[in-house]
Amino acid sequence: MVIDEVKCRENIAAMALRIRRAGLQFRPHFKTHQSLRIGEWFREEGVEAITVSSFAMALYFVRTGWKNITVAIPFSPLEIDAIHAVAANAKLNLVTATVEAVEGLGPLLRYPVSLWIKVDAGYGRAGVPPAEAETIYKILETAARFPHISIAGLLGHAGQSYQARNQKDILKVHENSMAIVKQLRESYSSAIPNLKISMGDTPTCSLATSWPGVDELRPGNFAFYDLQQSQITSCTDAQIAVALACPIIDVRRDRSEVIVHGGSVHFSKDWLKDEEGQLTFGYVAEKKSDGWGSVNRQARMRSLSQEHGILQVPSAELNQYKPGGWVYILPVHSCLAAESMAHYHGLSGKSYDHFKTGYRQ
């Protein structure tokens, strides 16, 4: 996985500026890059609070001095040892949607933690749905029994923004999801006047300009962006900051296909549907002396097996591909490709760490 540091830093700076201007706390999700080194680029933009997706990942960042961390997946009391380890060294914000988890955790805690109550902001995956708002009361009551737990507020994730296909629809998701969460807060405002609201998926954060009533935003993917974000219009192709450099292992003229060493162990297996409805796992990008250029949507990765990828290429372009050469392919979902590769090279050959494998050559 090759990272274009300039593009990545520009993405980070642009999002930091946008959120700072709107007056919100920027708590970027580090599950996308999972890198101490890339984390430093956020720090240079004034970021001090972060989001991660596991306690082990939190500990990785605690090492280099991150002191304010939200683990944005509902915790399990089974993870108590890891919770202790993080909470002993940083301000730890937990997320839950169930009374049972809080009841299980409360008696085990040794250090203070903050608790976000996850609410379903219309995505329909996890979180308390508005129709069961009494669960929020029960969580608040339960949490109040444990002195180590303080309440942060309501946390939502408008993942339905990924179903949108244009800016108008993304902004509609933005409005609706904020309205759901704010209405929930309204119902508790007499009992608990200071509930904060945390939101933030990459599509809405990339396109919205104001978040009235929201306190913090947690986008992650925007640091790299990818073909999926470009397809749903939350970024341009030029903002995509990572690509996979794949060796060409065969050119099949009979089928107008190029076979590359780049499969599901490298890209993972998220797909998009192209304009003709065909499953697509990546597109080739133009190779330039200083990175990659425009995206060639005619050169489509049409299938992935474990180690092989098959590119469907216009026959007139086949001559550009030679066994023994290599090609840039942009990923459909950069978070999963980064997780799969677990390491980065800069355009100038520098090496960047990833949580999963740490520093390596």
- The residues of the shown chain that bind a second copy, judged by CB under 8 A, are 31, 53-54, 73-79, 97-98, 100-101, 104, 124-127, 129, 131-132, 159, 247-252, 254-255, 259, 261, 264-265, 268-270, 305-308, 310, 322-324, 326, 335-336, 339-340, 342, 356-357
- The residue written with tokens 């339960």 in the block is 142
User: 258 has which bridge partners?
Assistant: 251, 311
Question: Nearest distance from residue 120's CB to a second copy, in Å?
Answer: 9
| SS3 state at 212 | coil
Q: Which residues contact 14 (CB under 8 A, 6 or more apart)?
A: none
In the DSSP assignment, the letter for residue 119 is B
Q: Residue 170 CB, nearest distance to a second copy (Å)?
A: 18
Query: In angstroms, what is the minimal distance from the CB of 251 to a second copy?
Result: 8
Is the CB of 46 or the CB of 358 nearer to a second copy? Answer: 358
Smallest distance from a second copy to CB 20, Å: 27
* 76/233 with CB nearer a second copy: 76
Q: Which is nearer to a second copy, 127 or 282 (CB)?
A: 127
CB of 100 to a second copy, least distance (A): 4
Q: How far is the CB of 73 from a second copy (least distance, A)?
A: 5
Retrieve residue 290's tokens. 């200083």
Largest CA distance in the chain: 71
Residue 306 has phi, psi (to 5 degrees) of -60, -50
DSSP SS3 for 65: coil
Dihedrals phi, psi of 253, to nearest 5 degrees: -60, -35
For residue 138, the one-letter residue type is K
Residue 58: which H helix or E strand, with range?
helix 55-62
- Taking the C-alpha atoms of residue 332 and residue 329, their distance in angstroms, rounded to an integer, is 10
Nearer to a second copy, 229 or 340 (CB): 340
Please say which residue, 68 or 76, places its beta carbon nearer to a second copy. Answer: 76
Alpha-carbon distance of 117 to 129, in angstroms, equals 11
For a second copy, give the closer residue by CB, 77 or 346. 77
Residue 22 CB contacts under 8 Å (≥ 6 apart), including other chains: 209, 210, 211
For a second copy, give the closer residue by CB, 31 or 185.
31
Pick between residue 25 and residue 54 the one whose CB is nearest to a second copy: 54
**Shortest approach of a second copy to residue 290 CB, angstroms?**
20
**DSSP state, 354?**
B
Distance of closest approach, residue 174 Cβ to a second copy, in angstroms: 19
- Name the strands in the sheet holding 50-52, side by side, starting at the edge strand that comes first in the sequence: 25-26, 216-217, 196-199, 149-155, 113-118, 91-96, 68-71, 50-52
